[in-house]
Structure 1
Amino acid sequence: MSPNPVTTRERLSSPLTWHYVGLGVMVLLMLGLAIRFGMDLSATGSSSTDALTAKQIELKTLQLQTEPLRGLEDRVKESRTHIQDFYATRIPGNYSSIAVQLGDLAVKNGVHLSRVGYSQGTTSSDLTEISLDCAISGEYQQIMHFVNGIERDKTFFVVRAMAFTGQQGGLVSLRLRVSTWLRPSDVPGWMMPTPADTPAAAAPVAREGE
Structure 2
Amino acid sequence: MSPNPVTTRERLASPLTWHYFGLAILILIVAVLAIRLGLDWSATDSSSNDALVNKQIELKTLEVQTAPLRGLEQRVKDSREHIQDFYAKRIPANYSSIAVQTGDLAVKSGVQLSRMQYTQGSTTGDLTEISLDSSISGQYQQIMHFVNGLERDKTFFLIRSMAFTGQQGGLVSLRLRVSTWLRPADVPGWLPPTPSDTPSATPPAAQEGE
TM-score by length of 2: 0.92
Kindly provide the CA deviation profile for residues 146-166 of structure 1, in whole angstroms up to 9, marking residues without a partner as x: 212211211011111111101
Partners of 1:140 and 1:34 lie apart in 2 by 101
Structure 2, unpaired ranges of 5+: none
Helix, strand or coil: the match of 2:200? helix
**What corresponds to 1:5 in structure 2?**
5
Partners of 2:198 and 2:206 lie apart in 1 by 15
**What corresponds to 1:30 in structure 2?**
30
Kindly provide the CA deviation profile for residues 100-158 of structure 1, in whole angstroms up to 9, marking residues without a partner as x: 11111122222211111100100234111100001111122221222122112110111
Partners of 1:48 and 1:203 lie apart in 2 by 80
Structure 1, unpaired ranges of 5+: none
1:181 aligns with 2:178: no
**What corresponds to 2:198 in structure 1?**
199
> What amino acid does structure 2 have at the position aligned with 1:178?
V
Partners of 1:208 and 1:155 lie apart in 2 by 19
1:123 aligns with 2:123: yes
Helix, strand or coil: the match of 1:130? strand
Distance 1:23 1:203, change over 3 A: farther
> What amino acid does structure 1 have at the position aligned with 2:72?
L
Q: Is the 8 A contact 1:158 1:178 kept in 2?
A: yes
Query: Offset at 1:51?
Result: 1.5
Kindly provide the CA deviation profile for residues 65-117 of structure 1, in whole angstroms up to 9, marking residues without a partner as x: 22222222222221111111111110101111111111111222222111111
Q: Is the 8 A contact 2:131 2:194 kept in 1?
A: yes
Query: Offset at 1:209?
Result: 6.3
**What corresponds to 2:40 in structure 1?**
40
**What corresponds to 1:137 in structure 2?**
137
Which deviates further from its counterpart, 185-194 or 142-151?
A: 142-151
Partners of 2:13 and 2:4 lie apart in 1 by 17
Q: Is the 8 A contact 1:106 1:113 kept in 2?
A: yes
Number of equivalenced pairs: 209
Query: Offset at 1:208?
Result: 4.2
Partners of 2:138 and 2:200 lie apart in 1 by 17
TM-score by length of 1: 0.92
RMSD: 1.6
1:69 aligns with 2:74: no
> What amino acid does structure 1 have at the position aligned with 2:93?
G
Kindly provide the CA deviation profile for residues 149-202 of structure 1, in whole angstroms up to 9, marking residues without a partner as x: 211211011111111101112221100000001111111122111111x22222
Partners of 2:5 and 2:170 lie apart in 1 by 147
Give percent identity, aligned residues only. 75
